[in-house]
């Protein structure tokens, strides 16, 4: 068997500008080709070409990396002993960063949150209804919950159910027919807002704006597991608006009134303030939401902008431009990793705005 016949390329079909492309070189079990027998050539969107290294992770896996700043189409050719391997050349689209779509929400209400569920976007608007849109912006329908429910922040669970904060009462879990499956935290939560469910432990973290802390529950049994912050006495924290978990299992707590993002370890021990208050780039003022992407980058919506930070809180860039009209943004969600895309509710013009970043 020829060396080229026992190898194939696999990887993403699109990325954003400056996002690292990682293409795997997959070998069959009987393949004895070494990395130094492979040649990899990138053709950039500008048409320029350059030869790059095929990397070996010392576990028998080979891969090729690339990063391009110009939008367009790039091409990767990989050959073994001078012959192209399967799926070579591979074509990858480099998508432009910035605002890519604006969805006009069809109800005249303040918007709370947006999450991706399958191929759809779910939008909460502080009533007992969840609006459903295609990512193209087409309105699909409405999930109607029981009267008296007020949907604030949402979290899509692995089983397809939706956990959400029911303003001034508790956390609820519902299906996509609007049937409430369970309620958690009655009598303990006063003004629940941001919500995050740990992917493996089924522990749910809930920010309480009034109490100024994060309460922790077992989402299966409903058992109260403890709190993070000021022991729920409005001391250390104020206006906890959102909470999320990093890929390392650390806890990020966003405060509206104190305008800051704090980092805690997985036991709830304070580590440091990652992002502080201010109007300049790299600071936040009256933030509305926080998310973490697959690279552990942090995105925060605040008053008039969206900002990208590294996992240690260092400012990377502003995602939106002033002309994009971000004003009073609130909840936001990662909707794609290839390309990197984030959706945010924008109360200034009652829209959902989608950005590549």
> How many domains is the chain partitioned into structurally?
2
161, 273: one domain: yes
53, 192: one domain: no
Q: Which residues lie below 8 Å from residue 331, measured CB to CB, with a gap of 6+? A: 111, 112, 113, 114, 124, 153, 154, 242, 288, 289, 301, 344, 345
pLDDT single digits (tens) 251-289:
999 999 999 999 999 999 999 999 999 999 999 999 999
CATH number of residue 265's parent domain: 2.120.10.30
The per-residue pLDDT of the chain, averaged, comes to 94
Question: Residue 35's pLDDT band (boundaries 50, 70, 90)?
Answer: confident
Evaluate the CA torsion angle 205, 207, 213, 218 in order and state its sign.
negative
46, 152: one domain: no
274, 210: one domain: yes
169, 34: one domain: no
10, 114: one domain: no
Mean pLDDT of 60-73: 94
Kindly report whether the peptide bond that precedes residue 339 is cis, defined as omega within 30 degrees of 0.
Answer: yes
Among the candidates 95, 124, 158, a domain finishes at: 95
87, 197: one domain: no
- Comparing 27-31, 83-87, 99-103, the range with the smallest average pLDDT is 27-31
- Comparing 76-90, 163-177, 224-238, the range with the smallest average pLDDT is 224-238
Q: Which residues lie below 8 Å from residue 173, measured CB to CB, with a gap of 6+? A: 157, 161, 162, 163, 164, 180, 181, 182, 183, 184, 219
The Cα 345–Cα 343 span in angstroms is 7
On whether the CB atoms of residues 214 and 205 are closer than 8 A, the answer is yes
295, 341: one domain: yes
pLDDT single digits (tens) 96-128:
999 999 999 999 999 999 999 999 999 999 999
Give pLDDT, residue 234. 45
Question: Residue 233's pLDDT band (boundaries 50, 70, 90)?
Answer: very low
Mean pLDDT of 230-244: 76
CATH number of residue 75's parent domain: 2.60.40.10
pLDDT single digits (tens) 127-182:
999 999 999 999 999 999 999 999 999 999 999 999 999 999 999 999 999 999 99
194, 291: one domain: yes
Give pLDDT, residue 60. 81
153, 252: one domain: yes
143, 271: one domain: yes
Q: Which domain covers residue 17, as residue numbers?
A: 3-95
345, 247: one domain: yes
Among the candidates 66, 95, 124, a domain finishes at: 95
């Amino acid at each position: 068997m020829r060396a080229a016949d026992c190898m194939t390329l696999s990887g993403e079909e699109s990325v954003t500008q400056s996002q690292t492309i990682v293409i795997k070189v997959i070998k069959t079990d009987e393949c004895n080709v070494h990395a130094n027998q492979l040649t990899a050539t990138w053709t950039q969107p500008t048409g320029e070409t350059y030869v790059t290294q095929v990397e070996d992770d010392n576990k028998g896996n080979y891969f090729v990396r690339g990063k391009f700043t110009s939008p367009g189409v790039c091409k990767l050719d990989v050959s073994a002993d001078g012959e192209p391997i399967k799926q070579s050349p591979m074509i990858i689209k480099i998508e432009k960063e910035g605002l890519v779509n604006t969805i006009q929400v069809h109800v005249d209400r303040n918007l709370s949150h947006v999450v991706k569920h399958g191929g759809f976007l779910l939008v909460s608007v502080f009533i007992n209804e969840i609006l459903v849109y295609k990512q193209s912006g087409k309105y699909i329908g409405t999930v109607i919950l029981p009267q008296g429910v007020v949907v604030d922040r949402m979290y899509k669970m692995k089983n397809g159910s939706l956990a959400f904060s029911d303003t001034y009462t508790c956390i609820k879990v519902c299906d996509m027919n609007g049937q409430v499956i369970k309620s958690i935290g009655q009598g303990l939560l006063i003004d629940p807002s941001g919500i995050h469910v740990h992917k493996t432990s089924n522990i749910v973290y809930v920010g309480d704006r009034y109490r100024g802390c994060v309460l922790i529950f077992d989402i299966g049994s409903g058992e109260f597991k403890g709190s993070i912050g000021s022991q729920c006495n409005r001391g250390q924290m104020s206006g906890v608006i959102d909470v999320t978990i990093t890929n390392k299992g650390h806890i990020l707590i966003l405060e509206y009134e104190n305008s800051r993002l704090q980092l805690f370890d997985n036991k709830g021990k304070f580590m440091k303030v990652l992002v502080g208050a201010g109007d300049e780039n790299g600071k936040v003022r009256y933030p509305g939401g926080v998310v973490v992407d697959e690279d552990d980058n942090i995105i925060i919506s605040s008053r008039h902008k969206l900002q990208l930070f590294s996992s240690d809180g260092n400012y990377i860039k502003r995602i939106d431009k002033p002309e994009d009209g971000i004003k009073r943004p609130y909840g936001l969600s990662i909707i794609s990793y290839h390309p990197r895309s984030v959706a945010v509710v924008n109360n200034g013009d009652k829209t959902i705005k989608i950005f590549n970043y």
